[in-house]
Structures are given as structure tokens and as C-alpha cells.
Amino acid sequence: MLKRVLISLLSLIILWQGLLWLYQFPPYILPSPRQVLEVWWHGWPVLLQQSIPTLWETLASFILAAFVGSIMALTLAYFTWARNWLFPWVLVSQALPTFALAPLLVVWLGYGLGSKIVTALIMMFFPITSAFYDGLRRTKPEWIDLAKTMNAKKRAILWFICVPAALPNLASGLRVAAVLAPMGAVVGEWVGSSRGLGYLMLNANARMQIDWMFAALMAITVWTLLLYGVVDWGLKKLITWHE
């Protein structure tokens, strides 16, 4: 996987440089890869310093979204009334644009860590809930019928048959959430913050330092790939029966 990622990045850099040679964009429109790499070389302490708050927000929101999404999926699968009354609200949470909610969250929760975590949580909540709930519903009927013939209770069927069968679906939702987590944290920082990579991008945009904006984007991309890789590796170790 690492080899494919490196080849893709190299292809992107070649295409990027080719566009500059072809159209001669000025640096304030599209900086060259060399300029962005120079920012990384000389400004890595600033990028690392601003990455720490974003990483804390990303990890906290990811863990919270995994917990809340899993509990919601289990509730929807176990209780009939939850499917009738709560599932529409789950859909509504995704119908509202996150960019529209983020300013309200800053007003309600302040400029601290809470508003960024909730913003990212809203973005990750639905993929986890939807994937896990879909897996719980698609458990093989013959397994459930066999458990019922052995007088298994509904709760036992859920925990010992449906949940293990649905773990690969939950893993898919967690992988999607791992990609969305840094994005949600940065969106929260764009709306209101005093630190983080999103804050660094806003300051660079105000000063027309486009090379710094690209450097911050590259940092976000690197952290996203690392988070996805760690989550994917951990899930493969935990769910050994599913490829």
C-alpha cells in the first residue's frame, strides 16, 4: 500500500509541475512543488506545532464517533421503537450541512476543543451508524433461525451472532470515518479557533501565502493517511476472519 501511495504522490507532483510549465501560473495562484517543500523544510516546527491541536481533535472525535455510532446502531437493531423514531433523526443529522452547523456550535460550545470535536462527530456519526446497522440487519437468517430453535434470547442473538457477523461492516464505517475525522476538525478550526492547521490555513490565506496553505494541506493529507493506515491495520488484526 505504501508503494502505491508514493507512486500516486509522485504522479501528482509531476502533474502539478507540468501544469506550471504549461500555463505559467504565478506563485500567488499556484506555487511550485519546490516552494511548498521549502516551506516544509524551513517551517516544519510551525507545522508540527499547529498539527498537535488538530490531531487531538481528530483522535478525540474519532473515538467518540465510534462509540456513539456503535451504540446507536445497536439501539436501532434491538429496539423497534428506535427504528421508527430515532432513525429519521439520524438521517436529518446528515441532511443539515456541517458548514452551516459549525458556526452555531462555536456559539454554543465556544472556541475550544468541544466545538471542533462535535463538528467532526457529526461528519463521522452517520457512516459508522449506517454501516454497522446495515451489517446487523444482514445477518444470515439461517444463523438466527438456528439460535431460535435452541431457545436463544433476543439479546444473546444480537451479541453472539449479529454483532460478530456485522463487525466487517463496522470496520468499513470506521475506515470512512478515519478519512473524515481530520476534515471535520479542520472545518471546526476554519469557523473559529486560535490554533490548528485550519487556523494556519486561514492566516496564510489572509496574507496570500499560498505556499503555506499548500504545506498545511499536505500536512493534513499526511495525518489522514497515517490515521487511516493505523485504523486499517488495527481492524485487520482484530477481525482476522474477514479479508
Q: Which one, of 183, 179, 136, 133, lies nearest residue 161 by Cα?
A: 136
Residue 242: pLDDT over 70? no
Q: Which domains does the chain have, with CATH numbers?
A: 52-238 (1.10.3720.10)
Band of residue 2 on the pLDDT scale cut at 50, 70, 90: low
pLDDT band at 69 (very low <50, low <70, confident <90, very high): very high
What pLDDT score does 137 carry? 92
171-205 pLDDT, tens digit per residue, is 999 999 999 999 999 999 988 888 999 999 999 98
In this prediction the pTM is: 0.91
pLDDT digits (tens, 9 = 90+) for 110-160: 888 889 999 999 999 999 999 999 999 998 889 888 888 888 888 899 999
How many CA atoms lie less than 13 Å away from 121 in the CB half-sphere?
Answer: 19
133 CB neighbour count, 10 Å cutoff: 25
Which residues neighbour 192 within 8 Å (Cβ) at sequence distance 6 or greater? 103, 106, 111, 115
Angle at 147 between CA 142 and CA 149, to 5 degrees: 95
Residue pair 196/60 in contact (Cβ under 8 Å)? The answer is no
Query: Of 188, 185, 161, which is closest to residue 57 (Cα–Cα)?
Result: 185
